[in-house]
Structure 1
Amino acid sequence: MSQYITDTTKLKCDKGASPAPLTVTSQSFMSIDGKLQATEEDRQPNINIKPFGMCSVLRSSCTPLPIKWDNTSDFEIDGKKELLDCSTCYCSVGGKISIVKCTQNFVEE
């Protein structure tokens, strides 16, 4: 089952050298475990998605240039689709951004 993505979830770019945290700014009222839930609008370079170290395409700093999130939820927050742990975002430089690790904590019953 897919998990929803929240603030500080680790992202990676297949052309970058290191992971970077996601910063949620697209909405301010829906949260899971005290962290804001991410939407498809959380794709602004250097604001929502930080650099991924060295870029193997540019051979310089891997500043993301995200196009749009794919594989989003059917559910929306304020008209914006929710991000899932299977969501991906292509970078106009040529990389593919994906989720490394969700920050949600689930308790098994």
Structure 2
Amino acid sequence: MGTATVTGALAMCSFGVAPSSLNFLPTPKVMIEGRPAGTIADIAPGVNVMPFGMCTSLSNPTVAAATSAALGVLTPMPCMPTIAGPWKPGAMKTTIGGKPALTSGATCNCAFGGVVSMTMTGAVRTTAG
């Protein structure tokens, strides 16, 4: 069982340089503490997962090209999360629209090698199991 994750939660990517907020659309969602709750399927870049400032992964083609142009000096480029699969693990028992609820401790992976993890779930009193 973990704390429910709602709009306004904060996340960080292991290759990002700044934290980012998570956003979950209100319909047809469950509201927790007045904000839409997330599910493991909420991974859309720029909609659910906002950019993490600059990306430092050499697996990101724009970072690799900029680093090459700088004669091998790592050159971060703007982040656009490219989430490769759902958040995991989700809640064991709590579902929203037939999908497991997103809870603290869940992570997802960026196609460029980063691991995205939550630093704050946004919910204060509500847990999901």
Give 1:12 deviation, angstroms: 0.7
CA RMSD of aligned residues (A): 1.7
Structure 1 unaligned regions, length at least 5: none
The within-5 A match list for 1:1-109 is: 2-25=2-25, 27-57=27-57, 58=63, 59-67=76-84, 68-74=86-92, 75-106=94-125
- The 3 A distance-change label for structure 1 pair 86 and 26 is farther
Structure 2 unaligned regions, length at least 5: 58-62, 64-75
Residue identity opposite 1:24 in structure 2: F
SS at match of 2:41: coil
Give the number of aligned pairs: 107
Give 1:26 deviation, angstroms: 7.3
Q: Give the whole-Å Cα distance in 1 for the aligned partners of 2:98 and 2:125.
A: 27
Larger radius of gyration: 2
Give 1:86 deviation, angstroms: 0.5
Return structure 1 stretches of 4+ with deviation > 4 angstroms.
Answer: none
Q: Name the TM-score, length of structure 1 as normaliser.
A: 0.89
Q: Give the whole-Å Cα distance in 1 for the aligned partners of 2:105 and 2:42.
A: 15
Q: Give the whole-Å Cα distance in 2 for the aligned partners of 1:80 and 1:65.
A: 21
Q: Give the whole-Å Cα distance in 1 for the aligned partners of 2:41 and 2:2.
A: 19
Q: Which moved more, 1:55-64 or 1:18-27?
A: 18-27
Q: Name the TM-score, length of structure 2 as normaliser.
A: 0.76
Residue identity opposite 1:70 in structure 2: K
1:26, 1:42 within 8 Å by CA — same for their partners in 2? Answer: no
**Percent identity over the alignment?**
27
Q: Give the whole-Å Cα distance in 2 for the aligned partners of 1:73 and 1:98.
A: 15
